[in-house]
Structure 1
């Protein structure tokens, strides 16, 4: 069992460690601590996108990614080196846990850059114009990979049916491209009321931490399993 844990908050440290710390880092650290206590044998890879953001894709990256490997010039391999590493980490993982705070109603730019680097033709999705029906297909489907999103929002009411649900582009923005390559959303947990910094924030934090604990306990008893080849 392998877990890929991604942090994307620009804030360093968890909000339980520093006055201006990150709620998503706090939830992610709690998830990992509880998982390690339950399943110490499992491998956990952590990548801090907030501290070391991947570069956004550019013209050279696109040219290289859409050139068949056998025809790539040496510079193309260099242009895709980090992307290849990020894709390898994703392919190796059974469970992907992402701290995804809301920035201006969407995900942080550094998380979007990671998504653009791992949604790769020939690596995580296939494309063939001659294929009957749908020319695109997910290459990571059927492997039991699951996604957990841990969020934080300044305002409140962003969940389905809430007062600001239509302005929430975080969960769908992350889950849609990952589902496209074959990774299903298992759960999304978020803290709200950050900008209010009152009792409602504390209640939201407590509720989110309880949800994280329950989620870890459930998943640890029935972890994702890879389909047999």
Structure 2
């Protein structure tokens, strides 16, 4: 389950990511009643693997049956915020009823890696896989002219075109060198270790590429992350229904 919010008196409106169907919306009725269906609410928690049965011919499905397929993944606050960011990306960007079995597997393994620590490299690799699934993964192997990257030259990313060489006369130190980009590709594709500059470059690339798809509407999970990093005492508890993408 990627997201949930109240629906009517005793229901929940769910955003779900499934192996067979991809992302979809479903209504779970009566989940707040203690006598009937109350157990459903306990299962409909973030980062809990589920087996579900859906019904209905419309785009909005009805949740008929639900079973636990494993233990709830308990994440610390930092990992939880990262995981909610991933969930929000999927809700905002994945088209409905588009099966993405590889991305589904990447999602599950990313959550496990977040639990183990090292959230930022995990996020950069998942963003890269998401861009690939959406068909918007930038080509980092050459520049917009099709020429191989030069190790010493700096490049900036134009999300709609690709890597563009930065004019040597520019003094704002923009972009990243070809050598750094080569290390980024190796870390993203082959899971080699990120160094600090390569990690910063990977973040720059994913943010530039994703912004085109996300538009100007801010991500709620980034607000949580900024509050957490600033040490704010007003950081809300990270919950599945706390990042309403409306």
TM-based fold match above 0.5: no
**Given the two structures, how large is their TM-score scaled by the length of structure 2?**
0.25
Q: Which structure exhibits the higher relative contact order, with contacts defined as CA atoms closer than 8 Å and separated by 6 or more residues? A: 1
**Given the two structures, how large is their TM-score scaled by the length of structure 1?**
0.26
Q: Please tell me whether Structure 1 or Structure 2 has the larger radius of gyration of its CA atoms.
A: 2
